[in-house]
Amino acid sequence: MKKHKLPATVVALGLVSFFNDLASEMVTPFIPILIATVLGAGPVVLGLVEGVADAAASFLKLWAGRYSDARHGRRKQLMVFGYGLSNLARPLLALASSWGALLLLRSLDRAGKGLRSAPRDALLADSAHADIHGFAYGFHRALDNAGALGGTLLAVAALSWLHWSVSEVILWSAVPGVLVLVVLVAGVREAPHPALEEIKPQTPLAWGALSHNMRRYLLVLVLFTFARVSESFILLRGNELGMSVAQLLLLWAALNLVKSAASLLGGHMADMFGKRRLTLVSWSGYAAGFAALGMAEQGNALWACTLLYGLLAGLGEGSERALIMYAGERERGTAFGWYHLAVGLSAIPAGTLFGAIWHYWNAGAAFWFAGALALLCALLLRFWRFKPEAS
């Protein structure tokens, strides 16, 4: 295979995600604390805030992906607006004095994510040579996870060593937020791509307009979302096993570190051995990782199982998105929009179902259920018939 270097735009997009996750993880872990302490509300309000915000973001991802396909310049345009909106609203959460204000600001933050996600993923594909799509997405996910690791460690250091308040940490998240926009505006260049023909307003986002392979792959992804539940459940399991807050934060940081390294390695492997094959390995790894987590009964065992899970899950983060190449170049933004919409909307009932199994049975049953679903999805991806060009 001919070797190709990562284009400057792909590197810049990785740095944009690094700084954005750095800012995000200085804020996101504190939202439940703000709701419970400062606002005096409970889990119902937390569920409302996160549910409304995620739903708004999911629908915007579909629209933004389709809109970005229309003509040259729209991908970066949407990304600047999306990242700008998130990094303006997020620090203001420190000043929220009611749950209504928090709901509004959190919704604006997630709306920004909805506007930028599909155009960004499509721009990554536009900018990189087809032979290194797996590496490009793996590199991007590696820097994304590295930013999450850095943001968590910065928040812990600010609270423990600098003795800042939670509100001060959230306000200072504006600094990496500014760096996001600087790198995006100065470093990202949008590659020209063929404009779509004008589409009738009443059918701009038709599911049937996607290719046969794309629709099948997205259906499998929706089912897989019910297996890939929020990783915060790992922290909840650690809390049940008696781990301290400091231990849980270090576990979270270690998980992001392993996923970051595995994403970079997995991107290279996807280009060498095939994106679909690497995704199969990763999804099978999800099944094994969740089965192991279901058997962990001590803190040390949870550490080992979490690191194993992070390694196997991280390997496929790039190849899973690179498989959107089932979509043709003219439908790429739209396909990523459907991808994010499907994953985003499925995550809400998926988390509820996982939590219900945990509540009415136990943690082990919930993790085993997720593992079984992951294995089923791997089998579907392996044996469900795709057209030759998608293999």
Q: Which residue has the tokens 């940081």?
A: 253
**pLDDT the model gives residue 246:** 67
Is residue 265 helix, strand or coil? helix
DSSP assignment letter at 35: I
- Domain covering 9-187, topology: Growth Hormone; Chain: A; (1.20.1250)
Contact 115, 81 (CB under 8 A): yes
Among 34, 29, 152, smallest CA distance to 103 is for: 34
Q: Which CATH architecture has domain 210-391?
A: Up-down Bundle (1.20)
Q: Which residues contact 51 (CB under 8 A, 6 or more apart)?
A: 348
**pLDDT the model gives residue 391:** 37
Amino acid identity of residue 23, one-letter, is A
Which tens digits make up the pLDDT trace of 314-372? Answer: 777 666 666 665 555 555 666 777 777 777 677 667 767 777 787 788 888 888 888 88
DSSP assignment letter at 173: T
CA distances from 355 to 239, 257, 364 (A): 15, 26, 12
**pLDDT the model gives residue 196:** 46
**pLDDT the model gives residue 385:** 58
CA distances from 152 to 162, 196, 255, 268, 330 (A): 15, 42, 11, 27, 38
Among 110, 103, 122, smallest CA distance to 48 is for: 103
> 163 — alpha (psi -120 to 50), left (phi > 0) or beta?
left
Q: Which residue has the tokens 């600010």?
A: 158
Q: Would you write out the chain's pLDDT as a tens digit for each of its 391 residues?
A: 446 788 889 999 999 999 999 999 888 777 766 665 666 654 445 555 666 666 667 778 777 877 777 665 588 889 999 999 999 999 998 888 777 788 888 889 888 988 898 888 888 878 887 778 778 877 888 888 789 889 988 988 888 888 888 889 899 999 999 999 999 999 998 866 554 444 443 334 566 666 677 777 778 877 887 777 667 677 778 877 887 766 777 888 888 888 878 877 776 676 777 777 777 888 888 888 888 888 888 878 889 988 988 888 777 766 666 666 555 555 566 677 777 777 767 766 776 777 778 778 888 888 888 888 888 888 888 877 555 444 3
Among 112, 377, 349, 116, smallest CA distance to 224 is for: 377
Q: Is 180 exposed, middle or buried (0-12, 13-18, 19+ CB in 10 A)?
A: buried
Q: Which residues contact 257 (CB under 8 A, 6 or more apart)?
A: 145, 146, 149
**pLDDT the model gives residue 224:** 81
Q: Which residues belong to CATH 1.20.1250.20 in the chain?
A: 9-187, 210-391
**pLDDT the model gives residue 55:** 67
Contact 68, 119 (CB under 8 A): yes
